[in-house]
Amino acid sequence: MRAANRVLPLEGGRNFRDLGGYETEDGRRVRWCRLFRSGAMARLTPSDYSYLSTLGIRVVCDFRSRAERADEPTRWLADPAPRFLAWDGPIQEDESPLIAALAADDASQEMVREAMAELYRHIPYVFAGRYRDLFKVLESGEAPLAFHCSAGKDRAGVAAALLLTALGVPRETIIGDYAMSDKVVDYVALIEAADPQRVSESSIAYLLRLPRELLAPILWSDPIYIVTMFDELEKNHGSAMAFIRDELGFGDEAIDSLRDQC
């Protein structure tokens, strides 16, 4: 019998984690091996895929842009192959506060940290269409499911927070799951190990040129980031659950179904 693992034992995994085991507010526990969050999967090894083939993942939702997918393509080797869900439409993500903080003459780590928190106010809305599709897949009963972005902490982190909210997991636990990325991946080392020639046209090239002091808060999974996201949803909708219902179209019946299957 396969033992449940929070962080999957993968040689080439990047923040590949199981959302199972968390206790909910009504005393249940999220089921293991139903929902997985991850970063890019380009470095998964044949041994990793041998392990993943035992999980029965039916759908992989890839929140990355077309360019990101080209930089780090997923070549799924496990059998049977899951259905892949990706999006090619433009994303109007306002990164101007972060760009301004980095470009300021007096740029500091705290300024970049505050700009990152501000960015999290917008992520649920910018990626609402993709999150809506993720929830629709689950509403149709297509679990086990994995979802990911590049680092597995921002777009995927918000998706995980919304899913755990829908499942009735307490806020404190959700924040802990979000912050866990810092313990699982050394993102600074990951960026510094990138090949400058290969990423010359990508956002990684820009990150490589930043002083480490300013790079760090971009790569952190600082709890204030996800707390700021929740604060914004509560300000605009009254609660994160109301955002899930109103903006993602995931009503009470769908939430009950999700809780039954996950």
Residues 91-148: tens digit of each pLDDT: 666 677 888 898 899 999 999 999 999 999 999 999 999 999 999 999 999 999 999 9
Q: Is 27 helix (H, G, I), strand (E, B) or coil?
A: coil
Greatest Cα pair distance, the chain, in angstroms, is 57
Question: What was the pLDDT predicted at 1?
Answer: 31
CB neighbour list of residue 14: distance below 8 Å, 6 or more residues apart: 38, 39, 40, 41, 43, 151, 152, 185, 190
Residues 257, 262: Cα–Cα separation, whole Å: 9
Residues 197, 27: Cα–Cα separation, whole Å: 51
Residues 160, 3: Cα–Cα separation, whole Å: 22
Structure tokens at 8: 């999957």
Higher pLDDT, 216 or 192: 216
CA distances from 71 to 37, 49, 195, 200, 235 (A): 20, 20, 12, 11, 37
Question: What was the pLDDT predicted at 194?
Answer: 64
Neighbours of 248 (CB within 10 A): 20
Q: Which contiguous run of DSSP H or E holds residue 157?
A: helix 155-166
Residue 159 has pLDDT above 70, yes or no: yes
Question: What was the pLDDT predicted at 111?
Answer: 95
Which of 40-49, 53-62, 73-82, 228-237 is predicted least confidently? 73-82
Backbone φ, ψ for residue 82 (5° rounding): -75, 170
pLDDT band at 2 (very low <50, low <70, confident <90, very high): very low
Which percentage of the chain shows pLDDT scores above 90?
76
Q: Are strands 17-18 and 83-86 parallel, antiparallel or unpaired?
A: unpaired
Residue 190 has pLDDT above 80, yes or no: no
Range 64-69 average pLDDT: 89
What pTM did the predictor assign? 0.93
